[in-house]
Structure 1
Amino acid sequence: MMEGTNVSSQTWGFILLGFSDRPHLEPLLFALVLVFYMLTLVGNLAIVLVSRLDAALHTPMYFFLGHLSVLDLCFTTSLAPQTLAHLHSADKTITFGGCVVQLYTSLALGSTECLLLAVMALDRFVAVCQPLHYVLVMNPRLCRRLASASWLGGLANSLVHATFTLQLPFCGRRLDHFICEVPALLKLACADTSTNELVLFTISILFVLLPPVLILVSYGFIGRAVLRTKSVEARRKAFSTCSSHLTVVVIFYGTIIYMYLQPRDNYSQDRGKFISLFYTNVTPALNPLIYTLRNKDVKGALRKLFAGRLCSPRS
């Protein structure tokens, strides 16, 4: 039993209020979440398959894109089924154990994605600014280490962040959210949360603010290098690839910064729920579309996949 946590919460779990105050919206939200979940599964599974099976995509860029797709699959699957059950059923409860698992898992996967997007920006920086040394610098060993560091960093953040939150005593069981998320749990706490808010702010700076700053700096160098390129085709390809990644960065970090870096006094639970609904369900479905619609290599590999003509060299 976790010390300091309300006994009734541990025994019975939480009642997720979610969108109960807007019952007319629940059928619409259920349909939207279901559609975006299906799109997430299909789109990201397709990217994972083509990045593994097409030899032309065995490059660092698609290696990291494959990891991003696996992350989005796991992240959405850790939350979407609970959201669908919450929107469809009259039973709005979640067990304490289910809440703990959901909190640790979603924090680990979300934090990993924060780091992985920064790693992908590093890959694009080396590809554009150091093209002659790209293969040497972004070698398979370094790529594996960077991917592993992203996963381990996300796991470490989850262990610290979620553990501090779950040690709080909670007043009652009525959680004004549709998932177990740190800002909503802090609102339910009946103890001084200043230490938790300090931990939240510090970790958010490291995982939510620092990576996009580094990404924007790297893209400043990338933009300068691209503008110096004389080849129009090379310039177009660089802008196309980098703009896709930058679009994902803006959508993902924009919503996360709103959730985790605003003062608790200014936090709106209603807006927070809709923002959470967006970044947990819509963003993972948009990522495959953003990368494939502007990428000829991926579109070509997908056409071969659906035509049954895609195979790896080993096959």
Structure 2
Amino acid sequence: MQRKNFTGVTEFVFLGFSMFGKHQITLFVVFLTIYILTLAGNIIIVAIICIDRHLHTPMYFFLSMLASSETVYTLVVVPRMLSSLIFHNQPISLAGCATQMFFFVILATNNCFLLTVMGYDRYVAICKPVRYTVIMNKRMSAQLVCGSFGTGLVMAVLHVTAMFNLPFCGTVVNHFFCDIYPVMKLSCIDTTINEIINYGVSSFVILVPVGLISISYFLIISSILKIASAKGWKKTFATCASHLTVVIVHYGCASIAYLKPKSENSIEKDLLLSVTYIIITPLLNPVVYSLRNKEVKDAIHRAMGKSIS
């Protein structure tokens, strides 16, 4: 309370996409279309996995958790962003900003570690097929999902506690949501410690999963090379192609957005990266897993056949 009285700041205003002027309506239509497709795609994946018994395996359980997490993840940011494109300069309270940042960090971290869990699942399925059902049982699957969410919870508490103990002087957030660096820039004091915390957390959330996934795929590739036939290689690698595609895009965008040197920050680049990371990447999950995954396509066809019948 002392810090709040000191600064007098009780709410923030997002600058958002105001620099694009008359193009904001066009952006609204484009983003709304992508958002609807993202919600529909992820909801369909979750529904198909729930109703089709052929997909009641650890791999698709993790996929349904990822789709659910990304659905809520976009709900935290995108509706307010769309609203700000129509109704400009909408304020958000300090509590609202802290809440948005809290859930954003939880879900972003959760998504990163769920992708790691999915990589581990593929490693066990390919390198230890005989013991797969024993290792990846329901209890282990639930523990891995809870571990991903728990890690996100710890990271969110750390971030939000450090951030909202700062005194703020500015009120205009040069972004379209309460992201960490744009809010940090509004502080009245030196934020070196917060920057170190942020960089440390971002490095942990991005580099640790990337390292673990790399190890999983190194072992997977080593196992694939032992398969004699080209047909066996293709079939084995096909089970990993969808996951690997999502991993490359997801961590590529995250690394550029949160691990690039601070001197390279610019408003336009930051907005573009954030739009890609928050709006485009969640759409990739249903698109890749529905177009590249035969089992998911077969399940959708079965569901459509039942509906027609």
TM bucket, shorter chain: over 0.9
1:9 corresponding residue in structure 2: 9
Instruction: Give, in whole Å, the separation in 2 of the partners of 1:138 and 1:100.
Output: 37
Instruction: Give, in whole Å, the separation in 1 of the partners of 2:95 and 2:247.
Output: 32
Instruction: Give, in whole Å, the separation in 2 of the partners of 1:209 and 1:71.
Output: 20
Q: How does 1:108-127 map to 2 (within 5 A)?
A: 108-127=106-125
Q: Deviations over 1:114-151 (max 9, x none)?
A: 11111110001111111111111111110110001001
Structure 1 position 268, deviation (Å) = 2.0
1:304 corresponding residue in structure 2: 302
1:18, 1:176 within 8 Å by CA — same for their partners in 2? yes
Instruction: Give, in whole Å, the separation in 2 of the partners of 1:218 and 1:303.
Output: 32
Asked whether 1:31 is paired with 2:29, we answer yes
Instruction: Give, in whole Å, the separation in 2 of the partners of 1:213 and 1:55.
Output: 33
Q: Which moved more, 1:108-117 or 1:231-240?
A: 231-240
1:59 to 57, 60, 65: 57
Is the alpha carbon distance of 1:75 and 1:48 closer, same or farther for their aligned partners in structure 2, counting shifts above 3 Å? same
Q: Deviations over 1:147-177 (max 9, x none)?
A: 0100111111101112211211222211100
Instruction: Give, in whole Å, the separation in 1 of the partners of 2:131 and 2:62.
Output: 19
1:77 corresponding residue in structure 2: 75
2:105, 2:156 within 8 Å by CA — same for their partners in 1? yes
Structure 1 position 7, deviation (Å) = 4.2
2:144 corresponding residue in structure 1: 146
Q: Which moved more, 1:257-266 or 1:37-46?
A: 257-266
Give 2:259's aligned amino acid.
Answer: L
Q: Deviations over 1:163-216 (max 9, x none)?
A: 211211222211100111001112222211111111112111211111112212
Is the alpha carbon distance of 1:90 and 1:206 closer, same or farther for their aligned partners in structure 2, counting shifts above 3 Å? closer
Instruction: Give, in whole Å, the separation in 1 of the partners of 2:279 and 2:174.
Output: 19
Instruction: Give, in whole Å, the separation in 2 of the partners of 1:2 and 1:153.
Output: 31
Give 1:162's aligned amino acid.
Answer: V
Is the alpha carbon distance of 1:147 and 1:6 closer, same or farther for their aligned partners in structure 2, counting shifts above 3 Å? farther
1:17, 1:177 within 8 Å by CA — same for their partners in 2? yes
SS class of match (1:94):
strand
Give 1:127's aligned amino acid.
Answer: A
1:159 corresponding residue in structure 2: 157
2:257, 2:270 within 8 Å by CA — same for their partners in 1? yes
Q: Which moved more, 1:253-262 or 1:134-143?
A: 253-262
Structure 1 position 269, deviation (Å) = 2.6
1:291 corresponding residue in structure 2: 289
* Sequence identity (%): 37
Q: Which moved more, 1:84-93 or 1:114-123?
A: 84-93
Q: Which runs of 5+ in 1 are unaligned?
A: 311-315
Q: Deviations over 1:29-62 (max 9, x none)?
A: 2112111111111111111111111111011100
Give 1:114's aligned amino acid.
Answer: C
Structure 1 position 267, deviation (Å) = 2.0
Instruction: Give, in whole Å, the separation in 2 of the partners of 1:86 and 1:309.
Output: 39
2:7, 2:169 within 8 Å by CA — same for their partners in 1? no
Give 2:88's aligned amino acid.
Answer: A
TM superposition score normalised by structure 2 = 0.94
1:204 corresponding residue in structure 2: 202
Give 1:222's aligned amino acid.
Answer: I
Give 1:110's aligned amino acid.
Answer: A
Q: Which runs of 5+ in 2 are unaligned?
A: none
2:192 corresponding residue in structure 1: 194
2:131 corresponding residue in structure 1: 133
2:14, 2:89 within 8 Å by CA — same for their partners in 1? no
Instruction: Give, in whole Å, the separation in 1 of the partners of 2:282 and 2:264.
Output: 27
Q: When the two structures are aligned, how many residues end up with a matched partner? A: 308
1:4, 1:168 within 8 Å by CA — same for their partners in 2? no
Structure 1 position 2, deviation (Å) = 7.7
2:15, 2:89 within 8 Å by CA — same for their partners in 1? no
Q: How does 1:156-305 map to 2 (within 5 A)?
A: 156-305=154-303
2:12, 2:172 within 8 Å by CA — same for their partners in 1? yes
Instruction: Give, in whole Å, the separation in 2 of the partners of 1:2 and 1:81.
Output: 33
